[in-house]
């Protein structure tokens, strides 16, 4: 059987960053959510991501992470070659991280096609995911387009950006031209998007030839593109040059302006996807336990009476919940969080307050 076009030069890039403040106190600056098994699968989120991508890319998986997390990533992904783990001296947003990977792979394999997939997302249906990625790789291999994978929305979410699809691309199964990327909408506008059938959630998945990505970046942010290529050519420059690079997301740096010029395609993704953005989102990923209480951790350490919601038990202490519905209780060795699922997004405000108070030991 003929191999899909371009898959033999496909490299999976895994940006592993962010603190996940809405999942505090489990996720913290020195132990972000991608290092945790939040789904009870026995694999952390980054391990599950690498597992999923290796079915497509084999050993061609590269991880970009912060210096504070490099040792933990090496421990969790123990068979990752040292030259395929890039370490950022400081956070510079997604464009610098993905762009550095592209520049390194461009020098290693000039015709490399890269696919960027976040380390902390949960994806159901490996077959459907693989099918979408393969089509995205084929689109990227046949031209100088940036390709994204758009998730079919299941409700009018206000926490995600959206992709408006245009006409189909000739010669491809389902790929379409992207009309525009849209920022996170309010509830009314999100509902109007769903009604048209033209919009998909923007999950931040991008597939593109490494050279194409950097050449597009050079059109709108030439200094950033040049700096990334210089660091890839001479890695000893990383420490001195990194903090001077522009701090910008890949959506704003490349995807949005390229879409305005008709240079972006979208492949609709027919698989379940979740960015595990807060504890409400997490509870929706897991089956409810006895009495309607979902438990992450040891269920033998949780007792409920007329109660439902989510308990994340991490200290080994017994947790008892009586007469509370839709509750979220998260306990670690040094912190206890109690909220409702509807207010789960506001957990980030606790982190902001602790940071302002200088409680770095807790964040």
Q: Tokens for 276?
A: 């595990």
Q: Tokens for 330?
A: 């998260």
- Give every strand in the sheet of 327-331, ordered side by side: 293-296, 309-313, 327-331, 336-340
Q: Tokens for 160?
A: 């995600």
Which residues on adjacent β-strands are paired with residue 268?
Answer: 150
pLDDT tens digit at each of 363 positions of the chain: 567 889 999 999 999 988 779 999 999 999 999 999 999 899 999 999 999 999 999 999 999 999 999 999 999 999 999 999 999 999 999 999 999 999 999 999 999 999 999 999 999 999 999 999 999 999 999 989 999 999 999 999 999 999 999 999 999 999 999 999 999 999 999 999 999 999 999 999 999 999 999 999 999 999 999 999 999 999 999 999 999 999 999 999 999 999 999 999 999 999 999 999 999 999 999 988 777 899 999 999 999 999 999 999 988 999 999 999 999 999 999 999 999 999 999 999 999 999 999 999 999
Q: Look up the pTM and report it.
A: 0.95
Secondary-structure percent of the chain, ordered helix, strand, coil, rounded to 5:
40, 25, 35
pLDDT at position 20, please?
A: 75
pLDDT at position 295, please?
A: 93
């Amino acid at each position: 059987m003929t191999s899909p076009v371009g898959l033999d030069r496909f490299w999976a890039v895994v940006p592993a960053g962010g603190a996940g403040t809405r999942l505090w106190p489990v996720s913290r600056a020195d132990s972000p959510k991608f290092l945790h098994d939040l789904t009870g699968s026995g694999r952390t989120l980054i391990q599950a991501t690498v597992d999923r991508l290796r079915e497509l890319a084999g050993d061609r998986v590269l991880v970009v992470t912060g210096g504070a997390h490099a040792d933990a990533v090496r421990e969790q992904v123990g068979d990752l070659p040292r030259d395929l783990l890039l370490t950022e001296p400081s956070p510079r947003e997604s464009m610098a991280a993905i762009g550095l990977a592209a520049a390194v792979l461009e020098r290693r394999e000039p015709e490399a096609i890269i696919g960027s997939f976040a380390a902390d997302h949960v994806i159901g249906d490996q077959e459907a995911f693989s099918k979408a990625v393969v089509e995205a790789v084929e689109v990227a291999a046949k031209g100088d387009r940036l390709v994204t994978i758009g998730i079919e929305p299941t409700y009018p979410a206000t926490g995600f950006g959206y992709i408006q699809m245009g006409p189909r691309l000739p010669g491809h199964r389902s790929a379409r031209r992207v009309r525009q990327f849209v920022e996170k909408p309010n509830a009314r506008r999100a509902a109007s998007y769903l009604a048209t059938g033209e919009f998909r959630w923007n999950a931040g998945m991008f597939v593109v030839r490494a050279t194409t990505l950097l050449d597009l970046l050079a059109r709108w942010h030439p200094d950033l593109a040049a700096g990334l290529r210089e660091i890839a050519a001479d890695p000893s420059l990383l420490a001195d040059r990194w903090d001077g690079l522009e701090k910008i997301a890949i959506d704003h740096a490349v995807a949005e302006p390229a879409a305005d010029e008709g240079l972006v395609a979208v492949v609709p993704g027919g698989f379940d996807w979740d960015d595990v953005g807060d504890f409400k989102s997490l509870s929706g990923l897991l089956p409810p336990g006895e009495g309607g209480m979902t438990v992450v951790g040891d269920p033998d350490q949780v007792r409920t009476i007329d109660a439902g919601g989510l308990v994340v038990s991490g200290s080994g202490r017994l947790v008892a919940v009586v007469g509370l519905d839709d509750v979220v209780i998260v306990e670690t060795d040094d912190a206890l969080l109690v909220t409702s699922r509807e207010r789960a997004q506001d957990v980030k405000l606790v982190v902001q307050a602790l940071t302002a108070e200088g409680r770095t030991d807790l964040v």
